[in-house]
Amino acid sequence: MDSIKHHTDNLRDEQRILKILETVFDPEVPVLSVIDLGIIRKIEFFGGDTKPPPGDLGINVYITPTYSGCPAMDVIAMNMRITLATQGFKKIKITQILSPAWTTDWMSEAGKQKLKDYGIAPPTPRQQVCNEKLFAEEAIQCPHCNSWHTHRVSEFGSTACKALYVCDNCKEPFDYFKCH
């Protein structure tokens, strides 16, 4: 019975931590939380008591970068530490794991909608060319007017995870969050 209670307490704490981490945003796309991005892979507890308040409870949050070497990951990890520390956690580890590699499939649907509302075309629901020819053209919907009449200007947009497109109808440029 104690092991069931301990497991329930851990789940309650994990849900609490995920709620807290919903307030940590990607510095390159400030409308997306780390939860929206799907970069949180696992939360482990160590030491102390697992029941709130956190006290001496240690937390290890495992994250996977959207790209290996993504410059935003250091800022994200620092912001996660600060946010968790302000909630009373004292022992915080952030561990980056590269395998399995992050995929846009891990993004939340709410996050994809937030991207579109922000003016960035979200990854396509069905990956059209990700596993085919490098730099193949892909039909991307304009986040401004919803037209499919768009074309890629550059394989790389404002960050490595985005490509630059222009809408042929409304003539607006926009970033596309590339699928991978």
Preceding omega of 123 cis (within 30 degrees of 0): no
Q: For residue 48, what is the DSSP state?
A: S
Residue 5 has pLDDT above 50, yes or no: no
CB-based contact 109:35 (threshold 8 Å): no
Q: Which two tokens stand for residue 115?
A: 């991207």
Which pairing describes strands 120-121 and 173-177: parallel, antiparallel, or unpaired? parallel
Every domain of the chain and the residues it spans:
2-102, 107-177
Beta strands in the chain (DSSP E): 40-46, 58-63, 91-96, 120-121, 150-154, 162-167, 173-177
Output the 3-class SS for 79-124.
HHHHHHHHCCCCEEEEEECCCCCCCHHHCCHHHHHHHHHHCEECCC
Q: List pLDDT tens digits, range 121-164.
A: 999 865 554 545 555 567 899 999 999 999 999 988 888 889 99
CATH code reported for the domain at 2-102: 3.30.300.130
Q: Which two tokens stand for residue 44?
A: 């482990």
Residue 27 has pLDDT above 80, yes or no: yes
Residue 3 has pLDDT above 60, yes or no: no
Residue 58 has pLDDT above 90, yes or no: no
What per-residue confidence (pLDDT) applies to 96? 94
CB-based contact 163:152 (threshold 8 Å): yes
What per-residue confidence (pLDDT) applies to 10? 52
Q: List pLDDT tens digits, range 59-112.
A: 999 999 988 878 899 999 999 999 999 998 889 999 999 999 999 999 999 999
What per-residue confidence (pLDDT) applies to 70? 83
User: pLDDT: is 25 or 52 the higher one?
Assistant: 25
